[in-house]
Chains A and B, each alone.
Chain A
Amino acid sequence: MKENRKTRFKRFTKAFKREWQLHLMVLFPVVYLIIFDYIPMYGMQIAFRDFRPKTKIWGSKWVGLKWFKDFTSSPDFGLIFMNTIILSLYSLATFPIPIIFALLLNAMKGERYKKVVQTISYMPHFISTTVMVGMFLMLASPISGIYGNIFRMFGGVGYPLDFRATAAAFRHIYIWTGEWQGLGWSAIIYLASLSSVSSELHEAAQIDGASRFKRIWYVDIPSIMPTIAMKLVLACTGIIGVGFEKAFLLQSSLNLSVSEVISTYIYKKGMASFRNYSYGAAVGMFQTVINMFLMILVNTAVSKATDGEISMY
Chain B
Amino acid sequence: MKKTVNKKKISKQGMSDATFNTFLVVLVTIILLIELYPMIFVVSSSFSSGNAVSSGRVLLWPVEFSVKGYEMVFKNQMIWGGYANTFVYVVGGTITNLFFTVCGAYPLSRRGYCIKGFIVKFLTISMFFGGGLIATYIWVNDLGLVNTRTWMIISGAVSISHIILMRTFFQTGVPEELLESAKMDGISDIGYLFKIVLPLSKAVISVITLYCIVGKWNEFFGPMLYLRDREKYPLILITNEILVGAKFNTAEFTDQNLIEQMAAIVDTMKYALIMVSTVPMLILYPFVQKFFEKGVMVGSIKG
Residues of chain A within 8 A (CB-CB) of B277 are 128, 131
Residues of chain A within 8 A (CB-CB) of B21 are 107-109, 212
- In the complex, which of the residues A19, A28, A148, A266 contacts B100, with contact meaning CB atoms closer than 8 Å? A28
Please tell me if the beta carbons of A130 and B54 are within 8 angstroms of each other in the complex.
no
Residues of chain A within 8 A (CB-CB) of B148 are none
Query: In this assembly, does B251 line the interface, its C-beta being within 8 Å of a C-beta of chain A?
Result: yes
Within 8 A of A (CB), among B131-157: 131-140, 155, 157
- In the complex, which of the residues A30, A44, A130 contacts B244, with contact meaning CB atoms closer than 8 Å? A130
Please tell me if the beta carbons of B133 and A149 are within 8 angstroms of each other in the complex.
no
Query: In this assembly, does A89 line the interface, its C-beta being within 8 Å of a C-beta of chain B?
Result: no
How many residues on A have C-beta within 8 angstroms of the other chain's C-beta atoms?
Answer: 108
Query: In this assembly, does B72 line the interface, its C-beta being within 8 Å of a C-beta of chain A?
Result: no
Please tell me if the beta carbons of A146 and B41 are within 8 angstroms of each other in the complex.
yes
Within 8 A of A (CB), among B201-228: 214, 217-218, 220-221, 225
Residues 1-21 of chain B: 1 if any A CB is under 8 Å from the residue's CB, otherwise 0?
A: 000011001101100110011
Please tell me if the beta carbons of B243 and A245 are within 8 angstroms of each other in the complex.
no
Query: In this assembly, does A253 line the interface, its C-beta being within 8 Å of a C-beta of chain B?
Result: yes
Please tell me if the beta carbons of A134 and B270 are within 8 angstroms of each other in the complex.
yes
Q: Which residue of A lies closest to B27 (CB)?
A: A104
- In the complex, which of the residues B10, B119, B122, B134 contacts A271, with contact meaning CB atoms closer than 8 Å? B134
Please tell me if the beta carbons of A41 and B131 are within 8 angstroms of each other in the complex.
yes
Query: In this assembly, does B69 line the interface, its C-beta being within 8 Å of a C-beta of chain A?
Result: no
Q: Which residue of B lies closest to A280 (CB)?
A: B134
Also in contact, A148 and B56, with CB within 8 A (given A19-B114, A180-B35) = yes
Please tell me if the beta carbons of B243 and A133 are within 8 angstroms of each other in the complex.
yes
Residues of chain B within 8 A (CB-CB) of A131 are 236, 239, 243, 274, 277-278
Please tell me if the beta carbons of B57 and A149 are within 8 angstroms of each other in the complex.
yes
- In the complex, which of the residues B10, B255, B285 contacts A206, with contact meaning CB atoms closer than 8 Å? B10
Please tell me if the beta carbons of A251 and B35 are within 8 angstroms of each other in the complex.
no
Q: Which residue of B lies closest to A146 (CB)?
A: B41
Within 8 A of B (CB), among A31-59: 32-33, 36-44, 46, 51
Residues 228-244 of chain B: 1 if any A CB is under 8 Å from the residue's CB, otherwise 0?
A: 00000000100110111
Residues of chain A within 8 A (CB-CB) of B100 are 28-29, 32
Q: How far is the CA of A251 from the CA of B254 in the complex (A)?
A: 10
Please tell me if the beta carbons of A12 and B114 are within 8 angstroms of each other in the complex.
yes
Query: In this assembly, does B246 line the interface, its C-beta being within 8 Å of a C-beta of chain A?
Result: yes
Within 8 A of A (CB), among B100-133: 100, 102-104, 106-108, 110, 112-115, 119, 122-124, 126, 128-133
Please tell me if the beta carbons of A128 and B13 are within 8 angstroms of each other in the complex.
no
Q: Which of A68-76, A117-125, A301-309 contacts B (4 or more CB under 8 A)?
A: A117-125
Residues 8-35 of chain A: 1 if any B CB is under 8 Å from the residue's CB, otherwise 0?
A: 0000100110010111011111101100
Q: Which of A78-86, A167-175, A187-195 contacts B (4 or more CB under 8 A)?
A: A187-195
Q: Which of B73-81, B87-95, B173-181, B294-302 contacts A (4 or more CB under 8 A)?
A: B294-302
Please tell me if the beta carbons of B189 and A21 are within 8 angstroms of each other in the complex.
yes
Also in contact, A123 and B39, with CB within 8 A (given A26-B107, A128-B278) = yes
Also in contact, A41 and B271, with CB within 8 A (given A15-B114, A22-B107, A284-B134) = no
Q: How far is the CA of A37 from the CA of B12 in the complex (A)?
A: 63
Q: Which residue of B lies closest to A136 (CB)?
A: B38
Query: In this assembly, does B263 line the interface, its C-beta being within 8 Å of a C-beta of chain A?
Result: yes
Q: State the Cβ distance, A268 to closest chain B Cβ, in Å.
A: 6
Q: How far is the CA of A26 from the CA of B242 in the complex (A)?
A: 43
Query: In this assembly, does B67 line the interface, its C-beta being within 8 Å of a C-beta of chain A?
Result: no
Q: Which residue of B lies closest to A11 (CB)?
A: B114
Q: How far is the CA of A149 from the CA of B54 in the complex (A)?
A: 11
Query: In this assembly, does B287 line the interface, its C-beta being within 8 Å of a C-beta of chain A?
Result: no
Q: How far is the CA of A263 from the CA of B24 in the complex (A)?
A: 40
The 8 nearest A-B residue pairs measured at CB: A40-B131, A134-B243, A43-B135, A128-B218, A22-B107, A126-B281, A29-B104, A21-B189
Q: Which residues of B contact A (CB under 8 A)?
A: 5-6, 9-10, 12-13, 16-17, 20-21, 24-25, 27-29, 31-32, 34-39, 41-42, 53-59, 99-100, 102-104, 106-108, 110, 112-115, 119, 122-124, 126, 128-140, 155, 157-158, 163, 188-190, 214, 217-218, 220-221, 225, 236, 239-240, 242-244, 246, 248-251, 253, 255-256, 259-260, 263-264, 267, 270-271, 274, 277-278, 281-282, 284-285, 293, 296-297, 300-301
Given contacts A42-B135, A141-B263, A180-B38, 16 further A-B contacts (CB under 8 A): A15-B114, A21-B189, A29-B100, A40-B131, A44-B132, A117-B31, A120-B35, A131-B239, A134-B243, A137-B259, A138-B263, A143-B260, A206-B13, A212-B20, A226-B301, A244-B221
